[in-house]
């Protein structure tokens, strides 16, 4: 214990002297950085100072390795983020394009149905009823709902009574779904 009490002040004095010398030399030469070997120049005979310097060197190397790993991780994250951002923009563009395409398709279908309704409006009720009997009930009900109500009533009167009941049910169900 006594040996340590003598050693610590000597070690502190050595480091202070080194620091003072380095500060004075830095003022004179303009070079504030000293090499690690220069720091231990006067302390090589003190094992604790050498061990401390080795430990500090090891910690410095570990910190540099850790910092390099952090820098690599940051670079990978930045790359992934830019890739994801580009992919998101691409997907949004595709979605917007699909929305426009879907709207165009819906408009085309509506136009086709309107033309078909015009054809049924122009037909004689018996002829229209004969055609509606052959169509699927949901499609026939859609046509009947879109044509003029007076013409639709005449067509429905000319349809087979069982088929008329089915068509009326589909028309009612469609009205309920809308509300």
For residue 101, what pLDDT is reported? 78
What's the CA gap between 132 and 126, in Å, rounded? 10
What's the CA gap between 76 and 90, in Å, rounded? 21
Q: Is the dihedral of CA 98, 100, 105, 106 positive or negative?
A: positive
Q: What is the DSSP-derived secondary structure letter of residue 40?
A: T
What's the CA gap between 16 and 75, in Å, rounded? 41
Please tell me the total number of residues recorded for the chain in this structure.
179
Through-space distance between the first and last CA atoms of the chain, rounded to whole angstroms: 94
For 108-157, how does the pLDDT look when each residue is reduced to its tens digit (9 = 90+)? Answer: 878 888 888 888 888 899 999 998 888 899 888 888 888 888 888 999 99
Indicate the angle between helix axes 149-158 and 161-178, nearest 10 degrees: 140
The predicted model gives 9-31 an average pLDDT of 66
Give the distance from CA 137 to its chain's centroid: 45
* DSSP codes of every residue in 60-108: HHHHHHHHHHHHHHHHHHHHHHHHHHHHHHHHHHHHHHHHHHHHHHHHH
pTM given for the model: 0.41
Are the CB atoms for 145 and 114 separated by under 8 Å? no
Where residue 30 falls (left for φ over 0; alpha for ψ -120 to 50; beta otherwise) is left
* pLDDT tier at 30, thresholds 50, 70, 90: very low
- Helix H or strand E encompassing 25: helix 2-29
Are the CB atoms for 45 and 69 separated by under 8 Å? no
């Amino acid at each position: 214990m006594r040996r340590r009490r003598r050693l610590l002040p000597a070690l502190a004095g050595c480091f202070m002297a080194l620091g003072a010398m380095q500060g004075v030399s830095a003022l004179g030469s303009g070079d504030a950085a000293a090499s690690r070997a220069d720091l231990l120049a006067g302390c090589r005979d003190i094992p604790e100072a050498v061990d401390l310097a080795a430990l500090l060197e090891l910690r410095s190397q570990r910190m540099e390795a850790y910092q390099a790993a952090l820098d690599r991780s940051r670079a990978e994250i930045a790359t992934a983020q830019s890739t994801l951002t580009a992919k998101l923009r691409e997907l949004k563009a595709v979605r917007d394009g699909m929305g426009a395409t879907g709207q165009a398709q819906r408009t085309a279908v509506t136009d086709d149905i309107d033309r078909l309704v015009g054809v049924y409006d122009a037909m004689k009720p018996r002829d229209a009823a004969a055609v509606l009997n052959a169509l699927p009930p949901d499609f026939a009900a859609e046509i009947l709902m879109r044509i003029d109500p007076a013409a639709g009533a005449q067509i429905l009167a000319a349809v087979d009574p069982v088929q008329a009941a089915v068509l009326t049910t589909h028309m009612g169900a469609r009205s309920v779904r809308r509300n």
